[in-house]
Structure 1
Amino acid sequence: MTRIASLCTLVATLVLSGPALAQGGMPVMVPAKAPADQQAIPLYGKANPGSLSSEVWSRAGGKDYTVRNVTYPTLTPVLPAKGKANGAAVVVAPGGAFMLLAMDHEGWKVAHALAARGITAFVLKYRLTPTPRDEKEAAPFMGAKLAQEIGHPMSGELLGKSEAPADGAAAIAYVRSHAASYGIDPKRIGMIGFSAGAMTARRVALDAPVAARPDFLGYIYGPQDAENVPADAPPMFDAIALDDALFPSKGFPIAQSWMAAKRPVEIHGYQQGNHGFGLGVPGTTTTHVLDQFIAWLDMQGFLAKGPNARKDSK
C-alpha cells in the first residue's frame, strides 16, 4: 500500500467505528441528502458566511453521516429531558482532518450521550478546507493533504489556515451570551473535541478572547505535542489510545505543559482503540471515555452545586 493510500485509510478511521468497508480498507461512502436539522442555528446570525448548497453529505458505510465542504457554520442544540438539566453545557466539535466532519460518530451521538447525563450540548458544524465534490477524487485529495501534516499537525497548513478555531470561539461566545435562555450557568460552559475537533478546541481554549474561552476542555485523541500554556488555561481532560495510528504515541507532553502551568489536567492513555474511537470501540476500555469525562467534570465541580460545586459558580 502506498503512503497516500495508507493515509486515505487513516482518513476513513476518522469517521468510522464499525461500518462496512470496501476493498482495501476504504469506507463505502454512500451519497446522502443533508439530514433535516430544523434546530440548527446560523453561528454568526444574519452575517453567517457561505451557503448550505456547498455541502457534500455522505453516509460512511451507509450508516454514519459525514459532511464535506462546509462553508455555512451552524450550532445545533441537543437538550436534556425536561427537569434533568444540571446547568452545565458542552460544545461538541467533531473531527475529520479539517476536510470533513464525522457528524454522527463524533457529533450528534456524543451530544445525545451528554444530554442523557443532564448536560446541554451543542454540535458545532465548522467551516472546512474545500475538497473535490466527487467521492472518488476526494479520498486521494484528503490523503495527500493529510500526508503534508504528519509530524507537525499543530502547526500544519490545515489547522493554520482553518476557520475552525474562529468558529469554535464564536460557538462558546454564543452559548455564553444565551445561557439564560437555555438554563445554563455561564461559568460552566466547556468544549469537547475529537481529532481535528480536539485541535480546534485546544486553540479556542488557549487563544480565544476570554469571553469566548471554554471553562473546561475535553481533548479526545488530539496530538500530544507540548506548547506554552497560560496560567489561566481551563482544566483539561486528555484521552488518546496508545496505538493511535494517526498520532503515534509521544507520551503526554501537552498534559505536562498543563501541569507546568499548574492547571488541572487528567490523562487517559488507552491500551487499544486506534484513532477515531468516538464513544468507544467495543472490547476495549475506550468505551469508558464518556463516563470518565463525566466523572472528571463532577470532580471539578462543573455538574452540580453540591459538595463538589465550583466556588465561582452561581
Structure 2
Amino acid sequence: MRLRAMLIGAVTAAYLSAAAGALTVGERGLVIPLYRPGETAPLGVPETSDTVETGETLIFNVSDPTLELFRPPADMANGTAVIVAPGGGFVGLDYEAGGAAVARRLARRGVTAFVLKYRTIRSPATAMHMPEVHMREMETVIARARTGVPHEMPRFAGEANAVADGARAMAIVRSRAAEWGIDPRRVGMIGFSSGAYLAVDLAIGDKASRPDFVALIYGGLRTPVPPCAPPAFIAGAGDDEYQTNDPLLLFSAWRAAGAYAEVHVYERGGHGFGLTPRGMSSDHWFDELIWWLRSRRLMN
C-alpha cells in the first residue's frame, strides 16, 4: 500500500500548483491545432478530464495536440515568446495550473505565451488513471531518487510523441512570428516535470527545433548536452522526492558542455511547487525567472 500511495503521489505531485489569487481566469486563448485531421493516430478512447486528489483538473488521453495562444497587451508586447509545457508524466496534463496560469502571468509581463497540449499515452478510466507502464516507470523514478541509479532516467512511454509535438509547436510559432509580433530568434520553452523532459529533449536535439532558451522546472537529466545548447534556467527543490538531484545534474551537464545555465535549488517546495504561495523560498521562482530573462535582454 505504501508503494501504491507513493506512485499516486508521484503522478499527482506535479499537479499541486494552482493559479495565484491575483490572477483571473479570463477568456481562453486562440487554440491552434498542431496537425491536420488524421495526421496523428487516435488512442481509441476519447480525451477526458478529471479532478484528482489535489483538486486539480487534469486532461487525459490526448491524441489531437494543440497550442493555445495568450497574447500580451499590445503596449506591453516585447517580442519574446514562450511555449509552456505542463507536467503529468506523459499520462495526464496539468493544463490549467501548470500551463494556462503560467501563460497568463507571462503575458502580463509582455511575453507572447502558448500552452502546449501534447499527446499523452492511453490512460485507463479508473480513479488513478495509472497505466501499468507508468507504474513501472514510477518504480524506477522512486528507486533512482533513493540510490542515484540509473544516472539518467530511461525514456518514458509517450516521450517521443510529446517531443515531436514540441518540435511542431516550435516550427509553427516561428513560422507565424510576424503575425504575432514575435522575434523568431527569441522563442523559448518552459517545462514542468515531464514537460521539462520535453524541453530538455528539444534543447539538446535537432537544431531546427531547438528553443532559443529554456526554463526547466523540477525536470530530469537528459544527455548529451551539446556546446550549442540554449541558455537554461533550472529550478527545483531540495525535498523533491522524485527528482532529488536533477537540478544540479542538469546544471553540471550544461556547464560541462560550455553552455550557459543558472540553477536554483530551494530548501523546500517538493515536486510541483508551481505558482501557489506557500511561505517558502520556492514561492519566488517565477520572479527569479523574470529577472533571468531580463538579464539576458529577453524582457524589458
TM over 0.5: yes
Give, in whole Å, the separation in 2 of the partners of 1:79 and 1:170. 20
> 1:200 and 1:54, CA in 2 relative to 1: closer, same or farther beyond 3 A?
same
Using CA pairs below 8 Å that are at least 6 residues apart, which structure has the higher relative contact order?
2
Structure 1: 5+ residue stretches without partners: 20-35, 305-314
Kindly report which structure 2 residues correspond to 1:255-266, keeping only aligned pairs within 5 A, or say none: 255-266=251-262
Q: Give the match for residue 270 of structure 1.
A: 266
Contact 1:149–1:157, Cα closer than 8 Å, also in 2: no
User: Which is worse superposed, 280-289 or 59-68?
Assistant: 59-68
Deviation at 1:15, TM superposition (A): 1.1
RMSD in angstroms over aligned alpha carbons? Answer: 2.5
Give, in whole Å, the separation in 1 of the partners of 2:110 and 2:247. 33
Q: 1:235 aligns with which of 223, 228, 231?
A: 231
Give, in whole Å, the separation in 1 of the partners of 2:258 and 2:184. 24
Give, in whole Å, the separation in 2 of the partners of 1:144 and 1:54. 24
> 1:177 and 1:62, CA in 2 relative to 1: closer, same or farther beyond 3 A?
same
Q: Give the match for residue 308 of structure 1.
A: none
Kindly report which structure 2 residues correspond to 1:134-283, keeping only aligned pairs within 5 A, or say none: 134-136=126-128, 138-139=129-130, 141=132, 142-150=134-142, 151=144, 152=150, 154-158=152-156, 162-208=160-206, 210-223=207-220, 225=221, 227-249=223-245, 252-283=248-279
Contact 2:121–2:158, Cα closer than 8 Å, also in 1: no
Name the aligned partner's letter for residue 196 of structure 2: A
Q: Give the match for residue 23 of structure 2.
A: none
1:92 and 2:74 correspond: no
Deviation at 1:16, TM superposition (A): 2.1
**TM-score, normalised via structure 2 length:** 0.87
Give, in whole Å, the separation in 2 of the partners of 1:115 and 1:17. 19
**TM-score, normalised via structure 1 length:** 0.83
> 1:179 and 1:202, CA in 2 relative to 1: closer, same or farther beyond 3 A?
same
Deviation readout 1:247-298 (Å, 9 max, x if unpaired): 1236612211211222211010000000011124411111111111111011
Q: Give the match for residue 109 of structure 1.
A: 101
Give, in whole Å, the separation in 2 of the partners of 1:227 and 1:38. 34
Contact 1:272–1:284, Cα closer than 8 Å, also in 2: yes
Name the aligned partner's letter for residue 292 of structure 1: E
Deviation at 1:80, TM superposition (A): 0.7
Name the aligned partner's letter for residue 40 of structure 2: P
User: Which is worse superposed, 210-219 or 149-158?
Assistant: 149-158
> 1:194 and 1:9, CA in 2 relative to 1: closer, same or farther beyond 3 A?
same
Name the aligned partner's letter for residue 9 of structure 1: G
| 1:158 counterpart SS class | coil
Contact 2:122–2:131, Cα closer than 8 Å, also in 1: no
Name the aligned partner's letter for residue 95 of structure 2: M
Deviation at 1:227, TM superposition (A): 3.0
1:296 and 2:296 correspond: no
Deviation readout 1:59-101 (Å, 9 max, x if unpaired): 3458533101111110000111232111000000000111010
